[in-house]
């Protein structure tokens, strides 16, 4: 199943608009759910908490 175009555009924007220098390998490991979660809180105070949790989870998984 191919996600609709709006959802795909939102995921691309969530990736493009990350206001933090994040290694490309971490961004490549983000799931669709991660990107949807970032999009959902894009203008909310929770954005940094969500982004930090995603990055930490990916980095810990890569380290093990």
| 10-50 pLDDT per residue, tens | 999 998 888 878 888 899 999 999 999 999 999 999 999 99
The 8-class DSSP code of residue 46 comes to T
Q: Which pair of tokens denotes residue 12?
A: 């691309």
Question: Is residue 3 pLDDT above 70, yes or no?
Answer: no
- pLDDT value of position 2: 62
C-alpha–C-alpha distance, residues 6 and 49, integer Å:
25
C-alpha–C-alpha distance, residues 55 and 9, integer Å:
21
User: What's the whole-model pTM score?
Assistant: 0.83
Q: Which pair of tokens denotes residue 44?
A: 């909310």
Q: If you average pLDDT over residues 39-62, what whole number do you get? A: 94
């Amino acid at each position: 199943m191919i996600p609709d175009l709006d959802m795909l555009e939102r995921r691309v924007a969530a990736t493009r608009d990350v206001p933090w220098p994040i290694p490309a390998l971490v961004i490549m490991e983000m799931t669709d759910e991660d990107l949807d979660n970032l999009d959902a809180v894009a203008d909310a105070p929770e954005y940094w908490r969500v982004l930090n949790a995603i990055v930490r989870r990916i980095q810990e998984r890569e380290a093990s």
